[in-house]
Copies of this chain bind each other. A is one copy, B any other.
Amino acid sequence: MKQGNFLEDFELNKIFKHAIPRTISSGDVALYIGLTGSRNPLNCAKPFAENLGFKDTPIDDILLFHIAFGRTVNDVSLNAIANLGYANIQFKKNAYVGDTIRSESEVIGIKENSNKTTGIVYVHSRTFNQNNEEILSWVRWVMLPKRDASATIDEHVPENLPKESQISEIEREGIDFSNFDLESTGSSKLYEDYQVGEVINHSAGITIDETDHTMATKLYQNNAKLHFDAHMMKGSKFGKRLIYGGHIISLTRAISFEGLENAAQVIGINGGIHSNPSFADDTIYCRSEIVDKFEHKKIKNAGILRIRQVGIKNMASSELPSIKVNQDGKDVYHENVVLDIDYYVIISKRG
């Protein structure tokens, strides 16, 4: 019986076609709202979406990512010691209820650590719909153990991983944000109204209970054991189940609706760091900073905000003194900061 892959199981350019295609249902969408409290009308109000040219409410981008990512866990990271990073997450096409998605991952890098017992694998993962259209892609690197310390690893470190998501080529054919209904979002703050450097301390906090995060991860069919198996985790350094980092992204995205009501879609994620672990009973808060703003040639009547979004546990965003603190001469994350993510959203422009 196969129990995940080890470092030697990866070689450059090898493609893993991940198992378990998934048809996304209206039940998945409802459960996602119930698990996150997401209020974005684009994802829950059909007339609002149709008014912009979508054929139906598109699947929430972060939900889509979680399901797409869930496909890859069994081959790529079931044995991961650490999920080290992401780059260039691109939301290329919308997905809808009834679409069936599948994912595949190509090995783009592999290197051994100096201890010879572990190493790092870099993969380029792509998700396709039932028409074989690529709808989502990302690069990711994870630390894996070797099965056999004496095995030889043919190293190849990928060069020039993009520091930004390559979103300029993404199209949104047939979508026109000029009909964006501000009454439905509850805010008239649009692209023009955000300033680079602006910081938003979102006020809401959401406490996570065990069933919340384990149900989310089961819904995504992400079978990484450290989220589910409390008996096993008793023997880990955490002593208990670790919350899937993606669930924190879902919560901060949902919490940040207050203040970013018209930021309708995530189009790219530049990178993200799970800076501290989260556990059941933690309350998650969120701070957003507008890092950049620019126009996108292929999306009508909308602009792009680049947002640095920080997830904070057990401390209101307005009370966090700084994201990083100095510790023994080094800049490290504040112990309450659990997420530092950098992404692009599409936001309607003033008509």
- Flag if A187 contacts B218 (CB, 8 Å): no
Contact of A219 with B2 at beta-carbon distance under 8 Å, contacts A204-B228, A212-B211, A231-B207 already known: no
Where chain A touches its partner, the secondary structure class is: mixed
Using C-beta atoms within 8 Å of the partner chain, give the interface range for chain A: 35 or more
Task: Tell me the minimal C-beta distance from A103 to chain B in angstroms.
Answer: 12
Which of A191-234 touch B at CB < 8 Å? 200, 202-207, 209-212, 214-219, 221, 223, 225, 228-232
Chain B contacts for A130, CB-based, 8 A: 46-47
Q: In the complex, A24 Cα to B19 Cα: how many Å? A: 26
Cβ-based interface call for A20 (8 A): yes
B259/A19 in contact, CB under 8 A: no
Interface pair A74/B2, CB less than 8 Å apart: no
26 example contacts (A-B, Cβ-Cβ < 8 A) are as follows: A1-B258, A18-B186, A19-B261, A20-B186, A21-B44, A21-B45, A21-B47, A23-B46, A25-B30, A26-B27, A26-B30, A27-B27, A27-B30, A31-B31, A33-B218, A33-B219, A35-B215, A39-B223, A47-B100, A74-B186, A102-B184, A205-B231, A207-B214, A209-B211, A212-B215, A232-B316
Interface residues of A (CB under 8 A from B): 1-3, 17-23, 25-31, 33-39, 41, 44-48, 57, 74-75, 98, 100, 102, 130, 183-187, 200, 202-207, 209-212, 214-219, 221, 223, 225, 228-232, 241, 258-259, 261, 281, 283, 314-316
